[in-house]
Amino acid sequence: MSWNPAKDSAGTPTRMKSLSQAELEAHVRALIDGLPCVRGKKAAPLCGVQRKRFSIRMKSNTSKAAKVTLPIAPRERVSFLREDTMSRRRGQRKGWLRPEHGSWLLTYRVYNQTGGSQRETVTIGPCDGTGKLTQKQAERFAWDHFLNKVDQVAQQPRALMTIAEFWEKHYKPAALLKLKRTTREQYFSLYSRWIEPVIGRKRLATLEPGDVERAIARALEVQVDPETGKKKPGMSSATARHIRKVVSAIYSKAKKLRIASGDNPASLADVPEAVPVRAKIALSVVQMKQVLLMLAEPVRTMALTAVITSMNISELRGLRWKHVNLTSEWVPYEDEVVPPCALVVRQHFSRGEVGTLKTGNRKRNVPLPGIVVTALACLKQRPYFTGPEDVVFCSRRGTPINENNVRRRGFTQVAKTLGISRLSWHVFRYSHATFTESIGMHARDRQALMGHGALDQTDRYTAEDLERMRVGLDKIAGMILSAESVQ
């Protein structure tokens, strides 16, 4: 290829001074990458061009000709995913995309917990056969699903992200979409009150079990009212376990996003021994009869249904007539059917919202004995709010009964009259677990009625039956006495 530097781009002759061989080579090296044409044809880009030597003949007004032969190292094809000298925007992540064993493989670098970096390799898709991806398609997929996510934290390395920054950027948006309202409010309250003030500035990469224990200790210590100066007792051991649970959820989310790694510090943190704030209360059969006699409708039927079926208050408030079958025939309900004389638990009503059940095990079919069928049938004779979408236990306005009003206006007075230390909707659930255990119901049936995922949860709801223990001890005493009389 020939090129005459004595003429400019318009073809006008120019004067040049004499150049030495070294100066000539330096000029040629500087102009190689900017050559406009090759033998009258448009020059191909240097990327992907495999050449070993490149010759240029130059002429000047002081010498006949100077032929310079320069070696050019071969260059591989350039990809925006690869680390090379091509320009890219600041902070953009790089990777190595290559075909290997019939698939496109991407290798890229991520931060680890200690602040260093490590390589990770993932499969993008097939590069041969049916459904193969072109290089452009593979590059776009790699950027959208892997490198772009790494690039989002490029300006601030992952190892430097604090707990407060991770909460606002990653955990809080995900919690708003995933967690139920009651759980979400509990998590947000614990974080803003106890976690963020103590360890909010702590880096996720350096979080240790001792940091979690400091947040727990802050909640357990005695609080002093700044206005009155009175001392308030610290939070309970249950709050300490809840704080550890929230920190554990934050760190687990960080591990899922590959922002943190290693053991979860919250799982290694020590918490105080669990001390029950309130003792478990389970009513006896006589006490349950007295309670039902003192309650007015529809609260009486509501309490009867609670103690028979073990439904909690949110499930009772979410129960609608379409969920109840008081006949001896199978009744269709959406994509399923309701068995005869039974009800299905499919939703709950809590904090003014209808939502899904707490867990999948709470979704259950509960058979109804005759006494409950009769009570619900009488309740359905009311002249209003008996349609399929109407609430079973509703107020005069058709809204679900307010459990707080019932507790203040009804349960408090009943408990005081009968000499019961506390009466609440959850007491009926404890009573149900105790009744089913006392009659010898199968453990799996008890678990299914309670909607528990494990049998030990049902056992924790079961209270000791003194009368049953008394009968058993009397039998043992009778056996001993009979043995002594024989001797």
Q: What is the pLDDT of residues 279-304, one digit of tens each?
A: 788 899 999 999 999 999 999 999 99
Cα Rg of the chain, angstroms: 38
- In whole angstroms, give the CA distance from residue 486 to residue 349: 64
Lowest mean pLDDT among 92-101, 105-114, 383-392, 471-480: 105-114
- Neighbour tally for 332: CB within 10 Å: 10
Asked if 443 and 460 count as a contact pair (C-beta separation under 8 A), the reply is: no
Give 342's strand partners. Answer: 325, 367
User: Does pLDDT of 393 surpass 90?
Assistant: yes
Q: Could you tell me if 4 and 59 are in contact, meaning their C-beta atoms sit under 8 angstroms apart?
A: yes
The answer to whether 324 and 375 are in contact (CB under 8 A) is: no
What stretches of 382-440 adopt beta strand conformation (E)?
none
Q: Is 485 exposed, middle or buried (0-12, 13-18, 19+ CB in 10 A)?
A: exposed
Of 392, 171, 411, residue with least CA distance to 298: 392
Left, alpha or beta for 353 (phi > 0: left; psi -120 to 50: alpha)? beta
- Quick one: what percent of the chain has pLDDT higher than 90? 41
Instruction: Assess whether pLDDT exceeds 80 at residue 402.
Output: yes
Closest C-alpha to 138, from 93, 99, 84, 102:
99
- In this predicted structure, what is the pLDDT of residue 24? 65
User: Of 458, 246, 430, whose CA–CA distance to 361 is shortest?
Assistant: 458
Q: What is the phi/psi pair of residue 186, to 5°?
A: -65, -45
3-state class (DSSP) for residue 98? strand
Residue ranges covered by each domain of the chain: 1-77, 95-158, 161-268, 285-467
Is the overall model pTM greater than 0.85, yes or no?
no
The first and second tokens of residue 214, run together, are 């400091």
Q: If you ran DSSP here, which 8-state letter would residue 160 be given?
A: G
CB 446 within 8 A of CB 310: no
Q: What is the mean pLDDT of residues 181-186?
A: 91
Token couple for 311: 């439904």
Beta strands in 236-376 (DSSP E): 324-325, 331-333, 336-338, 342-345, 348-350, 353-355, 364-367
CB 245 within 8 A of CB 264: no
Tell me what the mean pLDDT of segment 52-60 comes to: 46
Percentages (nearest 5) of helix, strand, coil residues in the chain: 45, 15, 40
pLDDT at residue 387 tops 50:
yes
Q: Which helix (H) or strand (E) holds 316?
A: helix 313-317
pLDDT band at 115 (very low <50, low <70, confident <90, very high): low
CATH number belonging to domain 285-467: 1.10.443.10
The predicted structure's pLDDT at residue 311: 94
Q: What is the mean pLDDT of residues 234-245?
A: 92
Partners of 357 in the beta sheet?
Answer: none
Whether the pLDDT of residue 466 is over 90: the answer is: no
pLDDT band at 267 (very low <50, low <70, confident <90, very high): very high
Integer Cα distance of 353 and 347 in angstroms: 10
Interval 399-417 mean pLDDT: 92
| AA letter at 76 | E
DSSP-derived secondary structure letter, 322? G
Q: State the first-to-last Cα distance of the chain, in angstroms, to the nearest integer.
A: 127
CA distance 107 to 101: 15
- Tell me the C-alpha distance between 368 and 351, whole Å: 28
Reference 260, options 153, 132, 103; nearest CA is 153
Q: Of 65-79, 150-164, 177-191, where does mean pLDDT reach its minimum? A: 65-79
pLDDT, residue 31, reads 57
From the list 60, 83, 50, 46, the residue with the least C-alpha distance to 4 is 60
127 Cβ partners below 8 Å, 6+ apart? 99, 102, 103, 104, 133, 138
Residue 236 contacts residue 256 (beta carbons within 8 Å): no
Cα 183 to Cα 3, 214, 251, 362, 383: the distances in Å are 76, 23, 17, 16, 38
What one-letter code names the amino acid at 244?
R
Mean pLDDT of 313-329: 94
The CATH architecture one would assign to domain 161-268 is Orthogonal Bundle (1.10)
Mean pLDDT lowest among 64-68, 188-192, 444-448: 64-68
pLDDT at position 3 over 80: no
Residue listed under structure tokens 């499969």? 123
Contact (Cβ atoms closer than 8 angstroms) between residue 93 and residue 82: no
Residues 36 and 24 sit within 8 Å (Cβ to Cβ): no
Give the pLDDT band of residue 309 (cuts 50, 70, 90). Answer: very high
Mean pLDDT throughout 352-361?
87
Which pLDDT does position 418 carry in this prediction? 92
Q: Which range among 138-147, 189-198, 311-320, 444-453 shows the weakest confidence by mean pLDDT? A: 138-147
Evaluated on CA atoms 362, 367, 371, 377, the torsion sign reads positive
Q: Which two tokens stand for residue 239?
A: 């709050």
Tell me what pLDDT residue 13 has: 47
